[in-house]
Structure 1
């Protein structure tokens, strides 16, 4: 069986679900819904704000603090809803853009949370003539559920900081994942404070009803589309590990099988969330791209040992149970619109690039693959690529310190393919490599809309 599985999967079109296109009108509709929600929150604040809300600097600062807290509370729900897998949002916008919006809103939420605390403290400081620290302690002691709100706020800040690029690069996926899970706890803790201590909710029952409906609706959406329905799908589509095959230095392929593998609708370039029921894997679901689309009841992923989870994959035993969610992502051949296609892979990024190459050949294209690796031992799946008819593979091997230059800089790329401005590119590899290649392609006058980069992310 292992010998059969190590061979290239048959060049055939995977059975796929029809995906709704993401027109601009859908994106505008979602944006409009977010704006309307913000306007409603502003109206809730305006209709219940005291007549003298700006009579003194202290009152004005306090009112701004209350407003920032309300808008921040609304945007937290909006941020969660964007990645709650709500079908209307995904069909209207697309998952990749929703994830981008989710991240952008994260910075706004953090800003508003900090502003909420600071403006309330400064307003109270002016009114009570207390130093800031004394006023902060006074607020904690004077309002109900403030300690839980403080814990929730600190957790929000920690999660937000963990998403910063420099910090995120130093965290394992497992740590980052569980930090983000605490966001739901943080939302619950701060929600209690808003109802019991928020001036615009304590004094107005309609505002309380609207706010409770907003948070209950958000919780229902998360439970429905992120927990219950995916859980049922994962159980029905559960898979088993067939074998793990070393492909190169630090790169392994995992072959999987299951009764509904070919009904998942996986396309070349898609990724899925895999939860292996095995020691060291059960705690988190990791995103991995397919390196061979479902065929003959089998699916393959090819993974580099880049973290605790991926480094343990060689220890998986045949027969281990696997739950999957997906497919996700738009890094697919459907986006190819030019006659000439360049596929650029680095490290374990060769997995989805290999699947894309096979799909493009099936569609009649003749892609060129630039394969960047530190050494020949790191050229995983090289034999499969070289055996694909119609695929030209150019290995770019060696460390920059050894070569004296970067093979993915402007001049080396210009030398390899002189007319890159007429090509379309798909890039998959480490983030730094992706940014460098994209900059080089833009310098060579390739329009941005023809440069596609894979992103394995749901948050």
Structure 2
């Protein structure tokens, strides 16, 4: 994606909803918010409520208990999300949406666990004759000390990931430690005396949640190369597309991948030129083509090293993921806005559109209209423009609108209305740098496009690219 924004920043950001757009999708609300809330409901329905606020120390202990149970449950939920199970991804309508909520939930976990520790220490300080320091030492018992170790490990991993400016590969390796931290936390949460006896059904619930979290961690991080289903390909060619972009062409070694236009995959290449960690890339080929094509821009160590990969190298392909254009072929009026390398999902979408000679329900038809805005910093950066224009010439209703910042300035929603007409009933698809999608989304809402008609792809890796 381009490094500079391709749309003006909007002052309407202050009016954004508290929960970001497209963060949760349908039943995903229930799937991710229910687990942390169940302990609260069980506690409210228990005898523990009666004695919760009899003394200041008891009130602090009760608050600590609730913060710890909610934090532990949210931590377990995040490990389940990290597993990238396809069924859960479909609940969110796309992996990018799921990961956005994953990051927000991680912040909630950190807040709840810090609150738990502070409240526990506060309750200890408010109890006559109790030692605050003694609670942090092994003498407090292995059940309590397991919680101390778990919190220390959680804080250490979080500090390293936030302040260490790790590259993508080390970032993933450090994150895998969270599974071990959670296991230590499970010994504390499941074995601290008195919790289960006070709250009915809590032990059983925590056991189920713990099993799901550890299973997800093992599935993804522990035995991922064995358990996660992947397709195998070989590198057929790497085709340069300008100074910093290449199209990777893969030939299937077994059953080809079944995907929809606009989706992305994770690939791992068995070649010494690059690391073996999986990296996400958008598919640029159309479904049914004999090869799988991916467009890659050199923005970091991994992508810069890709040209050194030898043809014939084995490639693990995991996916597909995403629902960017799910059932989009049924929408009569569409506006597509691509910023820089954000053109990649649209390449697959354009290539999948039927040509003028094709017929059937999927044909564009006389009333189907799609405007594709191809935004780049300068005209020479639009490396796929010639191919897009050639494809559009044979696809009725598809119009390619190239705009370069140096010549045309940043695209605004007002210019989209001027070029494409009123946006009533139009579905807008955005893919590009986050400043671009943020600014254009707010501007589009201002000119009357409902948020549920604005779709965007915003996949962001953890760790820094350079």
Global fold match (TM > 0.5)? yes
SS at match of 1:287: strand
Matching of residue 107 in structure 1 with residue 107 in structure 2: yes
Cα displacement string for residues 204-241 of structure 1 (whole angstroms, at most 9, x for unaligned residues): 99855653443123323444577768746656x21111
SS at match of 2:285: strand
Larger displacement relative to structure 2 (415-424 or 87-96): 87-96
Change (3 A) 1:360 1:440: farther
Cα displacement string for residues 312-337 of structure 1 (whole angstroms, at most 9, x for unaligned residues): 21111111111111101001251355
Pick one of 363, 381, 400 that aligns with 1:393: 400
Pick one of 414, 422, 438 that aligns with 1:435: 438
Which residue matches 1:8? none
Pick one of 193, 200, 203 that aligns with 2:195: 200
Answer whether contact 1:41 1:74 (CA < 8 A) is retained.
no
The offset of 1:112, in angstroms, is: 1.4
SS at match of 1:152: helix
Matching of residue 266 in structure 1 with residue 259 in structure 2: yes
The offset of 1:383, in angstroms, is: 1.7
Query: In structure 2, how many angstroms separate the alpha carbons of the residues matched to 1:60 and 1:374?
Result: 58
Which residue matches 2:210? 215
Matching of residue 301 in structure 1 with residue 291 in structure 2: no
Change (3 A) 1:44 1:359: same
Query: In structure 2, how many angstroms separate the alpha carbons of the residues matched to 1:382 and 1:171?
Result: 35
Change (3 A) 1:292 1:226: farther
SS at match of 1:357: helix
SS at match of 2:436: helix
Pick one of 142, 145, 152 that aligns with 1:144: 142
Answer whether contact 1:145 1:197 (CA < 8 A) is retained.
yes
Answer whether contact 1:271 1:456 (CA < 8 A) is retained.
no
The offset of 1:182, in angstroms, is: 2.3
Matches within 5 A, 1:174-193: 174-193=169-188
Answer whether contact 2:286 2:349 (CA < 8 A) is retained.
no
Change (3 A) 1:331 1:193: same
TM-score, structure 1 normalization: 0.79
**What is the RMSD computed on CA atoms of the aligned residues?**
3.6
Query: In structure 2, how many angstroms separate the alpha carbons of the residues matched to 1:28 and 1:425?
Result: 23
Change (3 A) 1:136 1:356: farther
Matches within 5 A, 1:276-291: 276-279=269-272, 281-291=274-284
Matching of residue 241 in structure 1 with residue 235 in structure 2: yes
The offset of 1:387, in angstroms, is: 0.7
Matching of residue 412 in structure 1 with residue 415 in structure 2: yes
Q: Determine which structure has the larger helix proportion and give its number.
A: 1
Unaligned runs of 5+ in 1: 1-25
Change (3 A) 1:397 1:415: same
Tell me how many residue pairs correspond in the alignment. 422
Matching of residue 364 in structure 1 with residue 363 in structure 2: yes
SS at match of 1:292: coil
The offset of 1:306, in angstroms, is: 1.9
Query: In structure 2, how many angstroms separate the alpha carbons of the residues matched to 1:450 and 1:230?
Result: 38
Matching of residue 328 in structure 1 with residue 325 in structure 2: no
Change (3 A) 1:281 1:378: same
Larger displacement relative to structure 2 (416-425 or 179-188): 416-425
Change (3 A) 1:421 1:94: closer
SS at match of 1:120: helix
Change (3 A) 1:52 1:338: closer
Query: In structure 2, how many angstroms separate the alpha carbons of the residues matched to 1:417 and 1:246?
Result: 33
Change (3 A) 1:286 1:103: same
Which residue matches 2:348? 355
Query: In structure 1, how many angstroms separate the alpha carbons of the residues matched to 2:455 and 2:147?
Result: 42
Answer whether contact 1:242 1:319 (CA < 8 A) is retained.
yes
Query: In structure 1, how many angstroms separate the alpha carbons of the residues matched to 2:330 and 2:120?
Result: 54
Query: In structure 1, how many angstroms separate the alpha carbons of the residues matched to 2:31 and 2:271?
Result: 44
Which residue matches 1:127? 127
Which residue matches 1:173? 168
Query: In structure 1, how many angstroms separate the alpha carbons of the residues matched to 2:291 and 2:282?
Result: 14
Change (3 A) 1:101 1:144: same
Answer whether contact 2:46 2:198 (CA < 8 A) is retained.
no
Which residue matches 1:15? none
Which structure has the higher relative contact order (CA within 8 Å, separation 6+)?
Answer: 2
Which residue matches 2:380? 377
The offset of 1:124, in angstroms, is: 1.1
Which residue matches 2:448? 445
Query: In structure 2, how many angstroms separate the alpha carbons of the residues matched to 1:66 and 1:93?
Result: 30
Matching of residue 64 in structure 1 with residue 63 in structure 2: yes
Answer whether contact 2:36 2:74 (CA < 8 A) is retained.
no
Answer whether contact 1:68 1:112 (CA < 8 A) is retained.
yes
Larger displacement relative to structure 2 (303-312 or 318-327): 303-312
